[in-house]
Amino acid sequence: MAALTFAVDRLAAATVLTCHGALVAASAMQLETALSQLLLRTEPRIIIDLAKVTAIDCTGVMMLRVTAGIALEQGGSLVLAQPTPPVVHTLREGGTLSTIQTYRTLESALAADPQALVTDAEAAAQSTTTPWPMNADRRRSA
């Protein structure tokens, strides 16, 4: 199982879930358990601090998107803060930067500062990773 640890801080403005490690398929159940508890609150306002997340895959992205939708249905919100460059790349590739508000810092997420949002254009300009090649080395055998 991939290592994922987290800490929960209940602040006046929001509940901050700080994640450490890899947010991937093998660790998704750990996150789901924590998020399901946070969603029990009336009008939950959740900030997920991604500053120490080393990797995220499509399962982790989908978990965030589903949870954000549930929070919205309950009159609350789920936003992301401080994603690392590899995480920004995966969020961008998965179309999540346009569906979940993602802030450059935790402070800007707490203040809901629209000037501090990570945008698709900014993420594309800063991306140093290239998309995975599709069938680049595939050869037909006779």
Kindly report, residue by residue over 42-87, the tens digit of the pLDDT: 899 999 999 999 999 999 999 999 999 999 999 999 999 999 999 9
Overall average pLDDT of the 81-102 stretch: 93
What's the CATH number where 94 sits?
3.30.750.24
Model pTM above 0.95: no
Residue 24 lies in a domain: yes
Q: How many domains does the chain have?
A: 1
Residue 44 lies in a domain: yes
Residue 107 lies in a domain: yes
Please, are residues 44 and 36 in contact by the beta-carbon 8 Å criterion? no
Residue 128 lies in a domain: no
Overall average pLDDT of the 13-23 stretch: 95
Residue 32 lies in a domain: yes
Residue 104 lies in a domain: yes
Q: Above 80 in pLDDT, residue 117?
A: yes
pLDDT at 128: 55
- For residue 104, what are the domain limits? 4-118
- The first and second tokens of residue 119, run together, are 């945008």
Residue 52 lies in a domain: yes
Residue 17 lies in a domain: yes
Rounded Cα distance between 4 and 29, Å, is 10
Return the CA Rg of the chain: 16
Q: Above 50 in pLDDT, residue 25?
A: yes
Q: Which residue has the higher pLDDT, 2 or 125?
A: 125
Range from 23-32, 50-59, 107-116 carrying the lowest mean pLDDT: 23-32
